[in-house]
Amino acid sequence: MAENPVTIDERPALICDGVRAWLDNEDGILEITVDRTATEGLFPRHDVMFMLDSIAKSVTPEALQGWVDRLHDDRAATADKAATDDGSRMPKVLCLHAGNLPLVGLQDIIATLLSGSVYYGKLSKKDPWLADGLLRVLRKRLPGQLGGWAVRLEDLDKSGADKVLFAGAESSVATVRQRISELGLASGKARFLPRTARFSMAWLADEDFRGDSIRLSKHLIEAMLRYEGQGCRSLALVIAERSLSEFAGSLADASEVFVRYNPPSHFRKPGVNYWRSYLKSTGKEVYDLGGQIITDDPELIGRKDIICWLKGSGEDAARLARQIGPQLQQVYVHAGRDEIAAKAAKKLTDIPEIRLELLSDAQTPPVDWQPDGIDVLAWLWQNGNPGN
């Protein structure tokens, strides 16, 4: 497909140029697609604007080059890299998007292009316009690497992809494999990378509450309510050394401010009302946070639009992280950057489920963040077991 393959040295700058052009409304594409996204109620306009701002900050030539450089010396991670460097073999990657751009979706597009692969995408029904606009702008810079994309699987070219990225449980790989094999979208030996993480948690020590509680509650609310709490980086569980009732007032104040500038698209969905009624009828702690609720009932961990706040120690946080396992994306801490390592060592044991990150960065991840703890660029460059 690529008449003039682009080398790894050129790709970061070309990708960034494309993203920048898209953000600068090249050909008027961004303006049109933002309007359609907002008017069709796919995402609130304030979330779209926040997303564009995040992308502008995270997708820079330095960030992309840094990502490539970080993997440069890792032979295992770059076994497939040499082949793609000279364009002698360009693997085809099928991305089955199921969310909005700033989270896993954008990263999958960028990583696929950065890896030297040819991108094929099934766009999310929830985000058909913005992603389409970005891809159209990118195709001008990397024509040989943009294979095709569509909202319906049936409308995709029979590419026979070598690798497939998708959001879903490990147990769903067989179903997805069968479906896309039937449609000829992936080869029989294609490798699959399922993303199983569904939500993130935060651990707050007692000393976190002694400082600037307004700043803390603002960061918590941003992590909980941004993108209506739907992403895997959204904060759905807080383990804290203080109870929910002790901090509910601060959260309510921060929520009020957030909602004033970022009104939720739904007041409270029927399912939320249902659980809110139950929690109230049984005398449990429950408070409204925008279109979501927050409760101290541990049985509701991981439920859509419900945030759980449990009083507990660092050991409790570690135990819960283990229990939640692959459905957990990040563990956030409230600290200065230099404090993270010290906190991790002090409060949380070294277990694979715990990937520590700053609470304030919850909704503004770096471009090379790792969904499920897997570096997608490294995965794309690996010569893995074809059947995996």
Footprint of another protein (CB under 8 A): 96-99, 103-104, 124-126, 166-169, 172, 175-176, 195, 197-199, 230-232, 234, 236, 269-271, 273-278, 280-282, 284, 299, 302-304, 323, 327, 329
Report the nearest approach of another protein to the CB of residue 214 (Å).
28
For 371, residues 6+ apart whose C-beta sits below 8 A from its C-beta are 103, 104, 107, 195, 197, 232, 329
In terms of CB distance, is 8 or 237 closer to another protein? 237
Report the nearest approach of another protein to the CB of residue 125 (Å).
6
DSSP characters for 305-355? TEEEEEE--HHHHHHHHHHHGGGEEEEEE-S-GGGHHHHHHHHS---TT--
The amino acid at 71 = L
In terms of CB distance, is 136 or 269 closer to another protein? 269
Report the nearest approach of another protein to the CB of residue 324 (Å).
8
Q: Distance between CA atoms of 369 and 373, rounded to whole angstroms?
A: 8
Report the nearest approach of another protein to the CB of residue 336 (Å).
29
In terms of CB distance, is 83 or 173 closer to another protein? 173
First-last CA distance in the chain: 26
In terms of CB distance, is 84 or 363 closer to another protein? 363
Closest CA to 351 of 379, 325, 313, 312: 325
CB 219 within 8 Å of CB 287: no
Q: Distance between CA atoms of 43 and 265, rounded to whole angstroms?
A: 8
In terms of CB distance, is 115 or 234 closer to another protein? 234
In terms of CB distance, is 13 or 98 closer to another protein? 98
Query: How many CB atoms are closer than 10 A to CB 302?
Result: 14
Report the nearest approach of another protein to the CB of residue 300 (Å).
8
In terms of CB distance, is 84 or 364 closer to another protein? 364
Residue 164 backbone dihedrals phi, psi, to 5 degrees? -130, 125
Report the nearest approach of another protein to the CB of residue 53 (Å).
21
In terms of CB distance, is 20 or 304 closer to another protein? 304
Q: Distance between CA atoms of 218 and 253, rounded to whole angstroms?
A: 9
Report the nearest approach of another protein to the CB of residue 120 (Å).
14
Q: Distance between CA atoms of 310 and 297, rounded to whole angstroms?
A: 8
Q: Distance between CA atoms of 330 and 369, rounded to whole angstroms?
A: 10
Long-range pairs of 382-387 with CB within 8 A, sequence gap ≥ 24: 382/76, 382/77, 382/79, 382/80, 383/79, 383/80, 384/191, 385/191, 386/189, 386/190, 386/191, 387/189, 387/191
Report the nearest approach of another protein to the CB of residue 68 (Å).
26
